[in-house]
Amino acid sequence: MKPLIEKLTLSENTSFVARTYRTPHFEVPWHQHHEYELILILEGGGTAFVGDYIGDFKPGDIFFLGSNLPHTFQKSGDMITSAVVVQFLDSLWGNELLNLPEGVYMKNLLLAAAQGLKIPESYREKMADIIQGLENQQRFGRIISLFQCLNMMAESGDYITLSSQTPDANYRIKQAEIDLILQYTNRNFRNKISLREVSAVVNMSVAAFCKYFRRSTKKTYVDYLNEMRIGYACKLLKDTNSSVIEICFESGFNTLANFNKQFLKYKSITPSAFRKKVKHPSTHFAVDYDYRILSEK
Residue 28 or 61, more confident = 61
pLDDT, tens digit, for every residue of 222-247? 998 998 899 889 888 988 899 999 99
Q: Which CATH superfamily is domain 175-296 in?
A: Homeodomain-like (1.10.10.60)
Model-level pTM?
A: 0.66
d(CA 102, CA 96): 11
pLDDT for 13 beyond 50: yes
d(CA 211, CA 220): 8
Chain CA centroid to CA 122, Å: 19
**Bridge partners of residue 84, in order along the sequence:** 20, 40
Residue 282: the pLDDT is 55
The CATH number that domain 17-161 falls under is 2.60.120.280
Q: What angle (nearest 5°) sits at the alpha carbon of residue 210, between those of residues 252 and 289?
A: 45
H/E stretch holding 110 reads helix 104-112
Q: Is the CB of residue 294 less than 8 Å from the CB of residue 286? A: yes
d(CA 254, CA 175): 31
pLDDT for 82 beyond 90: yes
**CATH 1.10.10.60 boundaries in the chain:** 175-296
Q: Coil, strand, or helix at residue 53? A: strand
Percent share of the chain, pLDDT over 70: 85
d(CA 65, CA 50): 8
Q: What angle (nearest 5°) sits at the alpha carbon of residue 263, between those of residues 267 and 217?
A: 75
**CATH 2.60.120.280 boundaries in the chain:** 17-161
* Helix, strand, coil share of the chain (percent; to 5): 45, 20, 35
